[in-house]
Amino acid sequence: MHELSIANSILDTVRAEAARRPGARLTKVGLRVGELAGVDPDSLDFCFNVLVTGTEFAPLALEIETRPRRQRCPRCDRTFRVVEFDISCPDCGYLETRCIGGDELEVVYLELEEP
């Protein structure tokens, strides 16, 4: 279950930001997770909550935004979402499309309350 190590890395980022802002209370961390990232958002949320419970960061909330896989067709420049693993362009039928999104795994924001 690599979600635990990902949750721990997110918490490391939170700790670093908390150290830069003494006295501030961190309330929420936003995360963007693409469907190709190989991360189960529910497991990640559970692991994060386990790590935060009983610490100085409780009740820090994790908000996860999931992103679909997106492809771009080099022939007609159409950008589209992949449905049922079909990566062919829905407009022109071209098969050699390029992945342009859906593999994200990034901290997007931290919400905090200044003293």
What DSSP line would sit under 9-59, residue for residue?
HHHHHHHHHHHHSTT-EEEEEEEEEETTS---HHHHHHHHHHHHTTSTTTT
Residue 82 C-beta-side C-alpha neighbours within 13 Å: 23
Residue 1: per-residue pLDDT:
58
Q: Are 31 and 106 in contact (CB under 8 A)?
A: yes
Residue 9: per-residue pLDDT:
96
pLDDT tens for the 115 residues of the chain, in order: 599 999 999 999 999 998 998 888 899 999 999 999 999 999 999 999 999 999 988 889 999 999 999 999 999 999 999 999 999 999 999 999 999 999 999 999 999 988 7
The pairing of beta strand 70-72 with beta strand 79-81 = antiparallel
How far is it, in rounded angstroms, from Cα 105 to Cα 37? 6
Q: Please name the CATH architecture into which domain 3-67+101-113 falls.
A: 2-Layer Sandwich (3.30)
Position 79: which residue type?
T
User: Residue ranges of the domains in the chain?
Assistant: 3-67+101-113
Position 33: which residue type?
V
Contacts of 60 (CB under 8 A, 6+ apart): 14, 26, 27, 28, 29, 52
